[in-house]
Amino acid sequence: MPVSEPFSPLQREVYDIVYASQEAGIDAIKPGVRFADLHLICMRVLAEGLAELGVLPGSAEEAMEPDSMFYRRWTLHSFGHMLGIDVHDCAAARPDAYHEGELSAGDVLTVEPGLYFQPDDNLVPAELRGMGIRLEDDFLVTAEGPVVLSADLPRQAEEVETWLAAQRAAGPRPP
């Protein structure tokens, strides 16, 4: 949610980068896709966005190299995780059933990329410091494509602003 109403131009720009990352991940969800590849798809979009913001010291390609991965300074976590009996149903999973595995029909997972700029990070412009954006939605993997389990929530920046304005106009809810 934007702290201000509506998003500031820079908040919107970062939100749109994270949204594009999430959309790229969602578009790739189907049985047979490797979990690790889904991660790389989302991270590549974040790295490209960081390069466009002028944050990366080089290109997105250079930042994505396994011996660099400089973009990770601002991502802090993977693109998402499996859901099941436990919210993070992956902690005790065998690598071949999770990080090194493939998605299967019936799997449920989150797609929740994010960018986080620490308040004291002198490697980013001052206007980015202290900003963090994560978009999280839940999906069921099917042969026909992903089913959005959190479809009733606003996702695009304009939808979030409209929803927030309606919530603020309605006033506080009784306890």
Q: How confident is the model over 41-50, as pLDDT tens digits?
A: 999 999 999 9
**Residue 4: predicted pLDDT:** 66
SS3 assignment, position 146: coil
For residue range 90-111, what is the model confidence (pLDDT) as tens digits?
A: 655 666 766 678 999 999 999 9
The residues spanned by each domain of the chain are 9-170
Radius of gyration of the chain (CA): 17
- pLDDT band of residue 27 (cuts 50, 70, 90) is very high
Range from 9-18, 74-83, 100-109 that averages highest in pLDDT: 9-18
**CA 108 to each of CA 18, 34, 137, 159, 160: distance values in angstroms, whole numbers, following the listed order:** 21, 14, 11, 25, 24
9-170: CATH, from 3.90.230.10, 1.10.220.150, 3.90.1150.10, 3.30.70.2970: 3.90.230.10
Position 95 scores a pLDDT of 66
